[in-house]
Amino acid sequence: MKILVVEDDETIAIPIEEILDEQNYIVEVASDGQVAWELLDVFKYDVIVLDVMLPKLDGITLCQQLRANGCKTPILMLTARDTTKDKVKGLDAGADDYLIKPFENEELSARIRALLRRGETVIPPVLTWGELCVDPNSCEVSYQQQVLNLSPKEYRLLEFFLRHPRRMFSRSQLLDHLWSMDQIPEEATVKAHISSLRQKLKTAGLESDVIETVYGLGYRLKEFP
């Protein structure tokens, strides 16, 4: 899952990025509203964490413009202002939730998970493919109740396909969804990570490839037998 954090204060933005990265989210940070607007015009995100007080384009205005432009991405608004009037202003601008600074890391994570659950598709707490299980809350992958040791990118790939079971993705689309803008590698890297993931799943006992290749088009989750 890909999250855009729009926050100009590095003492807040950096810890948020680190917290979310530890939970296997793909995180990009924009330090002002204009940069965020430009990123959102090009890339798709699953959640936007948006500060109210921003340079160039404030959070309220950005939120209003996104909603007027048809953007349906869940928005969690951050602010140091805790009056009812300020909360109403943010929610009326189109925000889905409101979090007051300072906040606990656990609450931020819980609110993001809640916003993800409100998306267009109802996502179960645990994603499964037969006896293969992925728990997004603990970032744990298991097969026949045995925990698998996957790299962060392998985990993100597997979770992503389980969240989109009927869709096919090209390598470039996977790069857009699962790599941040400042670390996008060559498309061959996607192939290498999928190959490594398949090998680890096979070693764990899965006889069939979970992710299948559609030659010339991309990859998709294989229909469970």
Residue 118 has pLDDT above 90, yes or no: no
The predicted-structure confidence for 130-174, as pLDDT tens digits, reads as follows 999 998 878 889 999 899 999 988 998 999 999 888 889 998 888
In the chain, the number of structural domains is 2
**88 and 131, same domain (yes or no):** no
The last residue of a domain, from among 60, 84, 117:
117
Same domain assignment for residues 14 and 103 = yes
Residue 96 backbone phi and psi in degrees, to 5 = -90, -25
Residue 20 has pLDDT above 70, yes or no: yes
Is 166 found in the same domain as 131? yes
Q: Which amino acid, one-letter code, is at 195?
A: S
Considering the domain boundaries, does residue 157 fall inside one? yes
Residue 3 has pLDDT above 80, yes or no: yes
- 132 with 206, same domain? yes
Residues in the chain: 225
DSSP class per residue in 49-73: EEESS-SSS-HHHHHHHHHHTT---
Residues 216, 195, single domain; the answer is: yes
Are residues 6 and 44 both part of a single domain?
yes
Q: What is the CATH number of the domain that holds 44?
A: 3.40.50.2300
pLDDT (mean) for 110-130 = 77
Closest CA to 48 of 34, 30, 61, 21: 30
Are residue 112 and residue 20 in the same domain, yes or no? yes
Q: Is residue 101 part of a domain?
A: yes
Q: Measure the N-to-C terminal CA separation of the chain; round to a whole number of Å.
A: 27
> Does residue 64 contact residue 93 with C-beta atoms inside 8 Å?
yes
pLDDT of residue 123: 55
Full-model pTM: 0.69
**Percentage of residues of the chain with pLDDT beyond 70:** 96
Q: Tokens representing 214?
A: 């559609």
Domain endpoint, select from 92, 117, 142: 117
Query: Which of residues 87, 117, 147 is at a domain's end?
Result: 117
Residue 167's domain spans which residues? 127-221
With tokens 């969240």, the residue in question is 163
Does 13 lie in the same domain as 113?
A: yes
The CATH number assigned to the domain holding 216 equals 1.10.10.10
**pLDDT confidence of residue 114:** 87
> Based on the domain organization, do 22 and 63 belong to the same domain?
yes
Strand pairing class (97-100; 75-79): parallel
Residue 122 domain-assigned?
Answer: no
Taking the C-alpha atoms of residue 86 and residue 104, their distance in angstroms, rounded to an integer, is: 20
Distance CA 209, CA 98 (A): 42
Cis check: omega of the bond before 102, within 30 degrees of 0: yes
Question: Do 47 and 86 have their domain in common?
Answer: yes
Is the pLDDT reported for residue 208 higher than 90?
Answer: no
- Is there a single domain that holds both residue 148 and residue 185? yes
177 part of a folded domain? yes
pLDDT tens for 83-112 read 777 778 888 889 999 999 889 999 999 999
Task: Look up residue 112 and give its two tokens.
Answer: 């993001």
Q: Do 67 and 147 belong together in one domain?
A: no
The better pLDDT of the pair 196, 120 is held by 196
Residue 184 pLDDT > 90, yes or no?
no
